[in-house]
Chain A
């Protein structure tokens, strides 16, 4: 059994004009020590997915269906008390803004000692020693003095290192990192990412990395999910998806990167923009922006407009696209004919 298993997760927001579906039919698993990337543009629902794993979505959001199983226990039906034993302890989170985790009026040491003592019966001295060790692991210069410093005395990169140290404090099984380096400069981002990667490998910690940056995902994760308008549209091994994306949206996303175009030429843009969740088009949510809804003979594939695509397998990946399904079907028929 996988360490973390998400089945048919369904999250909604109760708004004044009725419920808005923020996530639908999310399915994935995470093995011990595995690194999974969740990629999508703003509004795709990737952060909601991260927050709902620990049942942390704020009002008016709620988990309307599905289950999140962690070591066989269902997190979304667990009591708040039971959840507290998991949060921060077995599964910890890293946010984009370090100040969401750090309390500005407490010293770094005090905060680390506090969270250690909240989960374990140990002396303050012992807790401080563990905190110091974790600060060393994240390669902070002069860790002893950092313990007595306050968050505002540190630079952005240093704060994010502290956050990683805090996340590692209780030797969790999974770290969920929500855009952990988006606010940082490229050189700092590269360092933080490689640090996170090394620590996860060293301690066999699972990582769920939420980001909009395909470059980061391709460097850090082993498997990835691509999200669009509250659904997963493609999932599978990272290298396979990056090298040979099947879904037109994933293809468009990768091709739109400036590095994929010849300098001086136009970039390959995807037209239009992501629909808002409260106003999704029928059928495949991507169809108004998709270049492949027309068949070779010029007719629109009716399924794209009418029917939400299910998943089809392609290599080790799963893709939610009518075109891919149709092409596979054609290929199968051709093979049957020829044999």
Chain B
């Protein structure tokens, strides 16, 4: 038997394609090519991310630089309305900051907080969910009760508690200075249970499969089985939930900022821009709040639509190669 006999050699397998060919041939790309909505959403999302990333080079002025602000030019309308100033394409806000620039910088802040918070959520949620699902028993019971407790605190409650603590201990100025990392921590802490639950459910499904038994029979330690065998097979639901969570985190941040618990107006995110403009709706300067609002909606919508498409593609029950 040391020599493979011709009967046992099977050659029904086609030649091995490279990584790139495999991607070109994948169902992911195929369904993307046929889904116009997914294509549009990706386009919009990439465009928004690009302008946010390149905001310092794209924006006509730096809204953080007090020297560039002209208080006399406050509340100018966008270009299509009479009384606009061609220098301020989307008008200016109550402090005379260029709307286009503040939106570009604001989207940048929103996206940074959104991605940062989701990264934190994912680290916490994936490791807790993996442990709960794979180890089971008491660990599972403890972690899942912890998740229940965490979920019973709304994001708002966490924000109020953390905000109050930071302001009490370090003073109000500290909160404004470290608002971005603080918001990442707040939103990350408040919403990890979503990840933990999703991961736990798919770990339970994977754990009952025979390749996990095979790894145990081999003598591998639990940690290696969890990270080398189980985790890579739960990535699809993690991807899907990540898109939803990024959209949620961006909205959470906007909501907190709107309530004054988030980004200060000197360093505005899309949420704090909406809040800042809200007081001026009555006086007719609707654009200060509506334009950043529209950008927020488009951003979140594009992420959600992408997430929907990804869920359809990656759902193994719908997936038929």
Question: Which residues of A approach B to under 8 Å, CB–CB?
Answer: 16, 269, 271-273, 275, 279, 288
A279 to B13 CA separation, bound complex (whole angstroms)? 10
Closest to A274 in B: B12
- Decide: A273 and B14 in contact? CB cutoff 8 A: no
- Decide: A271 and B30 in contact? CB cutoff 8 A: no
User: Which of B2-10, B57-65, B110-118, B292-300 lies on the face that meets chain A?
Assistant: B2-10
Closest to B34 in A: A16
**Residue among A271, A279, A288 with max Cβ neighbours from chain B (10 Å):** A271
- Decide: B10 and A273 in contact? CB cutoff 8 A: yes
- Decide: B14 and A279 in contact? CB cutoff 8 A: yes
- Decide: A272 and B6 in contact? CB cutoff 8 A: no
**Residue among A16, A273, A279 with max Cβ neighbours from chain B (10 Å):** A16
- Decide: A273 and B7 in contact? CB cutoff 8 A: no
- Decide: B30 and A16 in contact? CB cutoff 8 A: yes
| Residues from chain B with Cβ under 8 Å of A16 in the complex | 30
A272 to B7 CA separation, bound complex (whole angstroms)? 7
A273 to B6 CA separation, bound complex (whole angstroms)? 13
A272 to B10 CA separation, bound complex (whole angstroms)? 5
A198 to B14 CA separation, bound complex (whole angstroms)? 48
- Decide: A269 and B7 in contact? CB cutoff 8 A: yes
The 8 A-B residue pairs with the shortest CB-CB distance in the complex, in nearest-first order: A271-B7, A272-B10, A16-B30, A273-B12, A272-B12, A275-B12, A273-B10, A269-B7
Closest to B5 in A: A271
Question: Which residues of B approach A to under 8 Å, CB–CB?
Answer: 6-8, 10-12, 14, 30
A288 to B12 CA separation, bound complex (whole angstroms)? 9
| Binding site secondary structure of chain B | loop
**Residue among B6, B7, B12, B14 with max Cβ neighbours from chain A (10 Å):** B12
Closest to B33 in A: A16
A272 to B6 CA separation, bound complex (whole angstroms)? 10
Q: How far is the CB of A17 from chain B (nearest CB, A)?
A: 9
A-B contact list, 14 entries, CB within 8 Å: A16-B30, A269-B7, A271-B6, A271-B7, A271-B8, A271-B10, A272-B10, A272-B11, A272-B12, A273-B10, A273-B12, A275-B12, A279-B14, A288-B12
| Residues from chain A with Cβ under 8 Å of B6 in the complex | 271
Q: How far is the CB of B85 from chain A (nearest CB, A)?
A: 54
| Residues from chain B with Cβ under 8 Å of A279 in the complex | 14
A86 to B30 CA separation, bound complex (whole angstroms)? 39
Beyond contacts A16-B30, A288-B12: 12 other A-B pairs, Cβ-Cβ < 8 A, are A269-B7, A271-B6, A271-B7, A271-B8, A271-B10, A272-B10, A272-B11, A272-B12, A273-B10, A273-B12, A275-B12, A279-B14
| Residues from chain A with Cβ under 8 Å of B10 in the complex | 271-273
Q: How far is the CB of B311 from chain A (nearest CB, A)?
A: 20
A235 to B10 CA separation, bound complex (whole angstroms)? 29
| Residues from chain A with Cβ under 8 Å of B11 in the complex | 272
A201 to B168 CA separation, bound complex (whole angstroms)? 88
A272 to B13 CA separation, bound complex (whole angstroms)? 11
| Residues from chain B with Cβ under 8 Å of A272 in the complex | 10-12
Closest to B10 in A: A272
| Residues from chain A with Cβ under 8 Å of B12 in the complex | 272-273, 275, 288
| Residues from chain A with Cβ under 8 Å of B30 in the complex | 16
| Residues from chain A with Cβ under 8 Å of B7 in the complex | 269, 271
| Residues from chain A with Cβ under 8 Å of B14 in the complex | 279
Q: How far is the CB of A6 from chain B (nearest CB, A)?
A: 27
Q: How far is the CB of B23 from chain A (nearest CB, A)?
A: 15
Q: How far is the CB of B33 from chain A (nearest CB, A)?
A: 10
| Residues from chain B with Cβ under 8 Å of A271 in the complex | 6-8, 10
Q: How far is the CB of A304 from chain B (nearest CB, A)?
A: 17
A302 to B10 CA separation, bound complex (whole angstroms)? 22
| Residues from chain A with Cβ under 8 Å of B8 in the complex | 271
Closest to B11 in A: A272
Closest to A59 in B: B320
Q: How far is the CB of B317 from chain A (nearest CB, A)?
A: 14
A271 to B10 CA separation, bound complex (whole angstroms)? 8
Q: How far is the CB of B16 from chain A (nearest CB, A)?
A: 15
A272 to B14 CA separation, bound complex (whole angstroms)? 14
| Residues from chain B with Cβ under 8 Å of A275 in the complex | 12
A279 to B14 CA separation, bound complex (whole angstroms)? 10
A16 to B14 CA separation, bound complex (whole angstroms)? 18
A269 to B7 CA separation, bound complex (whole angstroms)? 9
Q: How far is the CB of A119 from chain B (nearest CB, A)?
A: 32
A279 to B12 CA separation, bound complex (whole angstroms)? 9
A269 to B14 CA separation, bound complex (whole angstroms)? 23
Q: How far is the CB of A317 from chain B (nearest CB, A)?
A: 28
Q: How far is the CB of B12 from chain A (nearest CB, A)?
A: 6
| Residues from chain B with Cβ under 8 Å of A273 in the complex | 10, 12
A273 to B14 CA separation, bound complex (whole angstroms)? 14
A269 to B9 CA separation, bound complex (whole angstroms)? 13
Q: How far is the CB of A294 from chain B (nearest CB, A)?
A: 13
